A = this chain, B = another copy of it.
């Protein structure tokens, strides 16, 4: 579960280091480096709210006769708000969820053979996500502890699942 403040912090954080227009923002939000996800409609809604609060402003830019684009940037009070949310977020600890765990908790209700097949399928999907997260340099990971730990987690899940699979393989 991520709260709305996490999402605001995430957006403000992106704007802290660069100005972006909406399309670009949504491209950034699709990137696998994001530790939380914010959908398109929601990104625009949040942006509107941040603007209402005076934390973000935009200017229109036109290049040639391309459709004009709106460049969003942080205001001075937006920078302050960001720092304040950052302090708050750093000192708190969110309970986290493990959605895949719901099904895993009931795995005992299936025949070991079938369970094994399903786990292997899950493992394939998980391997894809591991692959998508393998490209980050040590530098990036060292300077982004949040991302670093997320990657840890995904690999830990992979190892955990492998262990479970191995145990099912013996049972068979």
Complex-state Cα separation, A98 to B143, whole angstroms: 16
Cross-chain contact B100 with A93 (CB below 8 angstroms): yes
Cross-chain contact A99 with B99 (CB below 8 angstroms): no
Closest to A3 in B: B99
Cross-chain contact B36 with A105 (CB below 8 angstroms): no
A10-34 CB contacts (< 8 Å) to partner B: 10, 13, 16
A interface, by DSSP: helix, strand, loop or mixed?
helix
Q: Which of under 10, 10 to 19, 20 to 34, or 35 or more describes the interface residues of A? A: 35 or more
Complex-state Cα separation, A147 to B121, whole angstroms: 21
Complex-state Cα separation, A147 to B97, whole angstroms: 10
Q: Does A122 contact B (CB under 8 A)?
A: yes
